[in-house]
């Protein structure tokens, strides 16, 4: 059974197309200023990387500098409930900060050579259009705004679907509400976003 392709919302109107969101470019924490609340990755070159973490300000112990790092869920809960949590100290040279780079051309997903990365540092993450993503639920997403801006710190709570008007869309929520849903069980407020304005980070 063949599937019909999604209609192109910009067909006949190329001037309406918005630029894709900026990619995530990891930068060594040694080169960054304020870290409190910033998204970070930790790991070792040649070994691997862990993401979905937040940092607090650097601390110095003896002759070494460390970064307190915690899971994003713990960070949001601590901020929302104004509580203290335990944050392991990670040597600053093992911490990379997620910065926003310059938007570029998306690489085809089936080009293996273009997807290969160096293990010397965390890889740059180029956003993927929601229409091209294999799944969305639970993923970090970027909503493009009509003025060309970007709304980040969102999570998708559904896959793509057709709404009552026949438009392909997905529902998203603020990341704080996404994590609060997990620790409190309160269903988050969501927003329906047309698929052509939504990208997976």
Separation between Cα atoms, residue 146 and residue 102, nearest integer Å: 19
| pLDDT at 105 (0 to 100) | 57
pLDDT at res. 12: 41
Which region among 5-19, 63-77, 182-196 has the lowest average model confidence (pLDDT)?
5-19
Q: What is the pLDDT of residues 57-102, one digit of tens each?
A: 999 999 999 999 999 999 999 999 999 989 999 999 999 999 999 8
**pLDDT of 118:** 84
Distances 182 to 74, 77, 85, 190 between C-alpha atoms, Å: 11, 10, 17, 15
Class of domain 127-200: mainly beta
Higher local confidence (pLDDT), 116 or 175: 175
pLDDT at 3 over 70: no
Q: Which residues make Cβ contacts (< 8 Å) with residue 145, sequence separation at least 6?
A: 151, 197
8 pLDDT more than 60: no
Ranges of each domain in the chain = 24-100, 127-200
Cα distance between residue 196 and residue 35, in whole Å: 33
Sequence-separated (6 or more) residues with CB below 8 Å from residue 160: 130, 131, 136, 168, 169, 170, 195
Query: Which of 33, 32, 50 is closest to 41 using CA atoms?
Result: 50
pLDDT of residue 110: 64
pLDDT value at 15 more than 60: no
Phi, psi of 80 (to 5 degrees): -70, -40
Parallel/antiparallel/unpaired status of strands 140-144 and 24-28: unpaired
Lowest mean pLDDT among 4-13, 28-37, 136-145, 157-166: 4-13
Q: For residues 150-156, give the mean pLDDT.
A: 97
**Mean pLDDT calculated for residue range 140-157:** 95
Q: Does the pLDDT of residue 1 top 70, yes or no?
A: no
Mean pLDDT of 37-63: 95
Mean pLDDT of the chain: 88
Quick check: 53 pLDDT over 80? yes
pLDDT of residue 13 exceeding 50: no
Determine the pLDDT at residue 103. Answer: 72
pLDDT tier for residue 106 given thresholds of 50, 70 and 90: low
């Amino acid at each position: 059974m063949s599937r019909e392709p999604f209609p192109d919302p910009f067909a006949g109107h190329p001037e309406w197309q918005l630029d894709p969101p900026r990619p995530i470019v990891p930068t060594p924490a040694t080169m960054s200023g304020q870290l409190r609340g910033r998204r970070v990755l930790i790991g070792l070159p040649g070994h691997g990387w862990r993401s979905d973490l937040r940092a607090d300000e650097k601390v110095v112990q003896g002759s070494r500098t460390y970064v307190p790092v915690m899971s994003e869920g713990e960070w949001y809960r601590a901020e929302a409930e104004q509580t203290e949590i335990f944050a392991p100290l990670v040597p600053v040279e093992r911490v990379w900060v997620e910065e926003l780079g310059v938007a570029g051309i998306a690489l085809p997903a089936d080009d293996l050579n273009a997807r290969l990365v160096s293990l010397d540092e965390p890889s740059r993450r180029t956003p993927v259009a929601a229409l091209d993503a294999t799944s969305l639920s639970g993923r970090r997403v970027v909503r493009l705004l009509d003025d060309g801006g970007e709304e980040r710190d969102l999570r998708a709570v559904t896959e793509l679907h057709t709404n009552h008007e026949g438009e392909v869309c997905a529902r998203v929520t603020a990341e704080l509400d996404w994590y609060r849903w997990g620790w409190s069980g309160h269903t988050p407020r969501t927003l329906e976003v047309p698929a052509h304005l939504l990208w997976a980070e």
